[in-house]
Structure 1
Amino acid sequence: MLRIAVLVSGGGTNLQAIIDAIAAGKITDTEIAAVISNNRNAYALERAKQAGIKDIVVSPKDFETRDVFNENLLKILQEVNPDLIVLAGYLVVIPEIVIDAFENRIINIHPSLIPAFCGTGYYGLKVHEAALKRGVKVVGATVHFVDKGTDTGPIIMQKAVAVQNGDTPKVLQQRVMEQAEWNILPAAIDKIAHGKVRIEDGITVVED
């Protein structure tokens, strides 16, 4: 049984996709041990409560320094003791002490086809604004392992989504979530749960 901790900052639509996929049997041999948020007002915490999942708030605002927050986040994660940490719209930079403690056991969903429109400053609607401004015809989402760079870890899965005439950033964001994010994040978790993802020379190998 794969124990996962899901880290969230906002509405928790990707969290809901994971909860629904487990309920529907699309993700098997997996349980959500805890949902952790930096934002006590995040609707994702309500989703966790409704699903009977332990919810935890640990916010940088509650600590004197970022270092103290980092230490507390690590402590809470070690208490939860997940096999895998899933970043599902988590807007806090993961501290290096957490990355070291959970090496190759943290994954993130990013709303673009990495390496396009990723890195520092590219999050949420900003990604889709940049894609439309550049005039690309295909966008998408990427699930990747987290390393000490920003969106630089080994790529696990990607799914492309077509840009349509008249798209706004909000409309495009919704389409990318519905057609890509909510599909590949659960799929990647299920693959990891069944030992079908490994890293070789910095590149992931995903078995059928």
Structure 2
Amino acid sequence: MHNFPAINDRPVRLGVLISGGGSTLLNFLDCIRDGSLNAEVPLVIASQADCRGVQRARDAGLECVPIVRRDFASLADFSDAVFERLKAAEVDLVTMAGYLSLLRIPDEFLGRVLNIHPSLIPAFCGKGMFGDRVHKAVVARGVKVSGCTVHFADNEYDHGPVILQRSIDLPEAVSADEVGRLVFEQEKIAYPEAIRRVASGRLKIDERRTIYS
């Protein structure tokens, strides 16, 4: 059993990884501004140079560095480049915020990388299940409840220990777009809370389980 050391004397330094519009990043910044999340964002890394989130991050005055998988000969080289930048920025936690590139997480970062998934893991998760694909699968299956999961990332898709989940009852005849909007409202609450729990030092990891006390 192990846990992340408490950070209560300064803001938590977040490295934020994005692939799209940066909505989760903007939510972090809103929470930082309103005082509900004691954090700062010294570095944003984008998996695509032209994704909308790059400009949004820069408009917010943040350093945003595109690191693109196709520019590297191997997954190992790509992952090394990402984590070397994160180490240089002295981040405490790495938050995958709609990040779609596969990474190999080095041992020193295990237990320090968080991901959010737009379903209640283990439902509707795994390789190829992300974004609208998840919400379309939810609608096609006709489930009555969906939600989001924040978990520690490891080197398997949607596999690491779950930190917290938030659920919602779905309306009848709901569309995938509406599911996405409803779930994102829960993500806006869940991800900052997960960061607070980890930074508190009170969240312990016991194999595949987390214990928060």
CA distance in 2, matches of 1:45, 1:76: 16
Tell me the TM-score normalized by structure 1: 0.92
Runs of 4 or more consecutive aligned structure 1 residues displaced over 4 Å after TM superposition: none
Relative contact order: is structure 1 or structure 2 higher (C-alpha 8 Å, sep ≥ 6)?
A: 2
CA distance in 1, matches of 2:86, 2:37: 22
1:106 maps onto 2:116 in alignment: no
CA distance in 2, matches of 1:62, 1:201: 35
User: Match for residue 88 of structure 1?
Assistant: 97
**In the alignment, is the contact (CA less than 8 A) between 1:88 and 1:108 conserved in 2?**
yes
CA distance in 1, matches of 2:56, 2:193: 20
**In the alignment, is the contact (CA less than 8 A) between 2:162 and 2:210 conserved in 1?**
yes
Q: Secondary structure at the match of 1:156?
A: strand
Gaps of 5+ in 2: 1-9
1:20 maps onto 2:48 in alignment: no
The letter for the 2-side match of 1:83 is D
Displacement of 1:81 in angstroms is 2.3
CA distance in 1, matches of 2:106, 2:170: 34
CA distance in 2, matches of 1:54, 1:38: 14
Displacement of 1:45 in angstroms is 1.7
In the TM superposition, what whole-angstrom CA distance separates every residue of 1:74-100 from its partner, at most 9, and x where no partner exists? 2222212211000010001121xx342
**In the alignment, is the contact (CA less than 8 A) between 2:161 and 2:207 conserved in 1?**
no
The letter for the 1-side match of 2:148 is A
**How many residue pairs end up in the alignment?**
203
The letter for the 2-side match of 1:130 is A
CA distance in 2, matches of 1:167, 1:104: 36
CA distance in 1, matches of 2:63, 2:195: 19
CA distance in 2, matches of 1:200, 1:70: 26
2:196 paired residue among 190, 196, 199? 190
CA distance in 1, matches of 2:93, 2:77: 23
Q: Secondary structure at the match of 1:15?
A: helix
User: Match for residue 77 of structure 1?
Assistant: 86
**In the alignment, is the contact (CA less than 8 A) between 1:26 and 1:190 conserved in 2?**
no
Gaps of 5+ in 1: none
In the TM superposition, what whole-angstrom CA distance separates every residue of 1:114-167 from its partner, at most 9, and x where no partner exists? 111111111011111111111100000000001122111100010001211221
User: Match for residue 130 of structure 1?
Assistant: 137
Q: Which moved more, 1:30-39 or 1:40-49?
A: 40-49
Q: Structure 1 residues 167 and 26, CA, compared in 2 at 3 Å: closer, same or farther?
A: same
Q: Secondary structure at the match of 2:163?
A: strand
**In the alignment, is the contact (CA less than 8 A) between 1:132 and 1:169 conserved in 2?**
yes
CA distance in 2, matches of 1:205, 1:42: 36
**In the alignment, is the contact (CA less than 8 A) between 1:34 and 1:54 conserved in 2?**
yes
| 1:129-168 correspondence runs (5 A) | 129-168=136-175
Tell me the TM-score normalized by structure 2: 0.90
User: Match for residue 182 of structure 2?
Assistant: 175
Displacement of 1:69 in angstroms is 1.8
Displacement of 1:21 in angstroms is 0.6
Q: Secondary structure at the match of 1:198?
A: strand
The letter for the 1-side match of 2:165 is Q
